[in-house]
Amino acid sequence: MNISDEIKRLHDLHLAGALTTAEYEQAKAKLLNASVDLSKPRPSGSAGDDFVSEVSRLRRSRSDRWLGGVCGGLGKVSGVDSWIWRVVFAFCVVFAGFGFLIYLLMWIFVPEE
């Protein structure tokens, strides 16, 4: 039985009144946490999934910001200090010219935390 079938079964039990809302949420969380066991080897195609999950966590920082908080948010997600991201964007603005456009687009489209 796969995870979606087990979650559907839990949902049916919840609707039937066999599980309270708290029990249902706890069982669902336990089931989902058990499915993400880091000790198991990961399939070779999961690197793209990791990238997508990291990008979806990206938020503009409210506390570590100079302009829009983009570099602070990138620093939190990537684990690289935000000042390094600021230097990278400044380098791209001065030497390549496209850094300002990328920063502006990220300021517009990346949600604030």
- The DSSP element (H or E) to which 54 belongs, if any, is helix 46-57
- Who has greater pLDDT, 24 or 44? 24
The answer on pLDDT for 44 being more than 80 is: no
- Residue entry with tokens 């198991």: 40
d(Cα 15, Cα 102) in Å, to the nearest integer?
48
d(Cα 32, Cα 80) in Å, to the nearest integer?
29
Strand partners, 5: none
pLDDT tens figures, 78-99? 888 888 888 988 888 888 777 7
Q: What is the mean pLDDT of the chain?
A: 77
Q: Note the residue count of the chain.
A: 113
pLDDT of amino acid 55:
66
Strand partners, 60: 112
0.75 cut: is pTM over it? no
pLDDT of amino acid 38:
46
